[in-house]
Amino acid sequence: MRQVLCNLPIMRIEIWADVVCPWAYIGKRRLERALASWEDDPVEVVWRPYRIDPSAPTPGEPLAEVLRDPMVDAALRGCAPHLTPGENRERVSRIALAEGLGPRWGAGWRASSHDAHRLIALAHEAGVPHLQDAVAEEVMRAHFVDALDISLPAVLDEVSRRAGFPTGSGLLADGGGDTIVRELVLRGRAAGVATSPTFVVNGAALRGAQPPEVIHAFLAEAAGRNPRHVPEEVERLRHAEALLDLGDPLGALTLLRPLLDIHGDDRGTRLLAARAYFHSAQLNRALRILEPLAAQAPDDSYVQLLLGRTLQRQGEAGRAAVHLHLAAAMSPGYTG
């Protein structure tokens, strides 16, 4: 995939995708075709992780056996309701062949993609132009064309070497990329990524492996956008809050942890952490934040409410009542 890095302004194209999703590989080819006629600003293509099957095992299990499971068959019918799973696989195979992904096509394993995403993230961290894209290409080739189990270290070692990243497997063995990938998956979810692939440029998103002309038009429109830059800390805080709103307090805490280490005295960060602790039933940790906050700002009705409810869940009805009454007096909507 063409990636141009120079002194000119660079447009970043983020591809949020799971490497075990056939449409991710098809989308990669279609993006390449769209970029072949691109004459505007230079582009940088960056791969970001998305998981369509987080429960897939390591090592993988033969896909032929998985597909014989009636429950799997029923779930797959949701992907293309007008086709049987077999007919849909045949349709995707024909599309892949038309995109030059063949002649043999078809995954052989249901396998965890976590370590493959780690390898791709580590390639990006290496800072070598084209390297990450080459690793993503070789990972998907191994999965869909060579029908290999990409959850296995030996397979990822070979993938690394073919992509020109011979140190990759050693970095994987040392645990490299794990935190990056876990955080990026959470950030993608917080940002609303729900389709593999999703192309994101300047805050605009295009979902699915659309035809090259559609991708080209999307890039042209997105190139004209000039979104306001948000500091990394602010973006992290917003994503943590979004995860909490989505019912994932543990994910929110994962994103908040670096902020608490660096900006532990920031009231907004502490309050968001207290909410996440409360909703994940880590009540003692919530109290350790809420009690000082309530003492510092006794007129903050929300803090009083959350403190009261935390004490209530701990069985301290008397102490809880004081704070709940204060909250209701200041904000009548908090009554009850």
Overall CATH class of domain 11-224: alpha beta
Task: Give all strands of the β-sheet with 198-201 in edge-to-edge order.
Answer: 43-49, 11-17, 198-201, 204-207
Q: Does residue 101 register a pLDDT over 90?
A: yes
CA 62 – CA 219 distance, rounded (Å): 38
Interval 231-278: pLDDT, tens: 999 999 999 999 999 999 999 999 999 999 988 899 999 999 999 999
> Please, what sign has the CA dihedral across residues 184, 128, 148, 84?
positive
**30 Cβ contact partners less than 8 Å away, ≥ 6 residues apart:** 99, 209, 210, 211, 212, 215
**pLDDT-based confidence at 221, cuts 50/70/90?**
very high
Q: Where are the domains of the chain?
A: 11-224, 232-334
Q: 142 with 188: CB under 8 angstroms?
A: no
Interval 44-87: pLDDT, tens: 999 999 999 999 999 999 999 988 877 776 666 666 778 887 88
- Tokens linked to 295: 């003492």
A 10 A CB-CB count for 78 gives 8
Superfamily of domain 232-334: Tetratricopeptide repeat domain (1.25.40.10)
pLDDT for residue 7? 55
pLDDT for residue 4? 44
Q: Among 112-116, 182-186, 239-243, 262-266, which is the least confidently predicted range?
A: 262-266
Interval 271-317: pLDDT, tens: 999 999 999 999 999 999 999 999 999 999 999 999 999 999 999 99
pLDDT for residue 226? 87
Arithmetic mean of pLDDT over the chain: 93
Of residues 137 and 333, which shows the higher confidence score?
A: 137
- Tokens linked to 111: 């396998």
Interval 314-336: pLDDT, tens: 999 999 999 999 999 999 888 75
pLDDT for residue 41? 84
Q: 113 with 56: CB under 8 angstroms?
A: yes
pLDDT for residue 2? 43
pLDDT for residue 3? 45
pLDDT for residue 73? 67
First-to-final CA distance of the chain? 58
| Residue 104, H or E segment | none
